[in-house]
Amino acid sequence: MLGCISPGLLATLQDTGRRGRQALGIGTAGAMDLFAARVANALLANADDAPVLEITLGSAEFVALADGWYALCGADLEATLDGAELPLCAPFRLAPGQRLRLPRARRGSRAYLAATGGFAADRAFGSAATDLRAGLGGLHGRALQRGDELKAQAHREPTRLPRRVFTSLAHPAVVAEQPLGLIAGPALHAISPADRAQLLGQHFTVSRASDRMGLRLEEALASAASLPQALSAPVVFGTVQLPPDGKAIILGADRQTTGGYPVVGVVASVDHARVAQLRPGERLRFHEMDLIEAREALLARERQFAQLRIAAAAWWREE
């Protein structure tokens, strides 16, 4: 069990989201960096959809109220345990009274704290994901507050193996600073050749007007104003919309269920984690990727993830 001394800028309980509900007007929500959340859960032999705590940009502090095992993946928030540096992407134990501090983001934007069995959370429409606008899931549909207590849903002890399981899969130090794969959308070839060359060749800056709903980019594509009006259509994580002002928006976990802006493309699933970890002021680039490339890249990563699950399961197996 953890007590919240400070939730920081924003901390919410999330899981893999409310899948298959958009047709009913119900948003997906869920972890922004879903892969980092899955890796944190895998390190504890949890199910992929076990609720985790998403912590944004740091300034957070927690105290252990009972013995428990945890894992922290995603952004490097300079985590310390009783003042000592805490390694990322490996299970660690908290004893009553110990303090976990995450003061600031050294790299990345969002960290994911998992507990054995997942954190206890309210569920709505089959998911514990917090949807702040709808007031659903998580902790009474709201963000974490000072004084809140978070309870793990299981207590387990590892077997006595010589090495602790760890991974670099969701470690911020090894995230490649490469262009985001962009699968072409219907508006990609409707914009001017100059804008298309800019979109696929130049850097864009993440605006301060960015959040879990989406990342707005500062540089504009001039031909956006001349694009014909589009009919509203379903949107997914990574959809790149182009409003009339030409400043593209990459949709995130708290996106609306449908959108009417022209779509120049969708960021490939394998690069969603990097979208989630971008901070205001940071820069990004796109490169065009076809569906076969996107699928192969995702499958390669999932094979690595499957190996992690096997290693973690062995570390936690009961004697």
pLDDT tens digit at each of 319 positions of the chain: 999 999 999 999 999 999 988 888 899 999 999 999 999 999 999 999 999 999 999 999 999 999 999 999 999 999 999 999 999 999 999 999 999 999 999 999 999 999 999 999 999 999 999 999 999 999 999 999 999 999 999 888 887 666 678 888 877 655 556 899 999 999 999 999 999 999 999 999 999 999 999 999 999 999 999 998 888 999 999 999 999 999 999 999 999 999 989 999 999 999 999 999 999 999 999 999 999 999 999 999 999 999 999 999 888 875 3
Rounded CA-CA distance 128/141 in Å is 9
Residues of the chain with CATH 2.40.100.10: 180-288
In this prediction, residue 173 carries a pLDDT of 55
Please enumerate, as own/partner, the contacts of 189-196 that have beta carbons within 8 Å and a separation of 24 or more.
190/227, 190/228, 190/262, 191/221, 191/223, 191/224, 191/227, 191/242, 191/264, 192/222, 192/223, 194/222, 194/223, 195/221, 195/222, 195/223, 195/224, 195/246
Do residues 183 and 290 make contact, with C-beta atoms less than 8 angstroms apart?
yes
The rounded distance, in Å, linking the Cα atoms of 137 and 140 is 6
Helix (H, G, I), strand (E, B) or coil at 112: strand
Which strand (E) or helix (H) includes residue 208? Answer: none
Predicted pLDDT at 164: 75
| β pairing state of 286-288 and 180-184 | parallel
The Cα 98–Cα 120 span in angstroms is 21
How high is the pLDDT of residue 319? 38
E strand or H helix at 130, and its extent?
Answer: none
DSSP annotation of 16:
S
Predicted pLDDT of residue 167: 82
**Who's near 280: CB < 8 A, 6+ residues apart?**
206, 207, 208, 210
| Element spanning 57, H or E | none
User: Which of 22, 21, 53, 24 is closest to 36 using CA atoms?
Assistant: 53
The pLDDT of residue 244? 95
Answer CATH for 180-288 from 2.40.100.10, 3.40.50.720, 3.20.20.70, 3.60.70.12: 2.40.100.10
Q: What is the pLDDT of residue 176?
A: 52
Whole-number pLDDT of residue 175 = 52
d(CA 245, CA 117): 46
* Distance separating alpha carbons of residues 101 and 8, to the nearest angstrom: 10
Strand blocks (E) in 65-142: 68-76, 80-81, 84-85, 92-94, 99-104, 107-115
Determine contact, residues 271/288, Cβ cutoff 8 Å: no
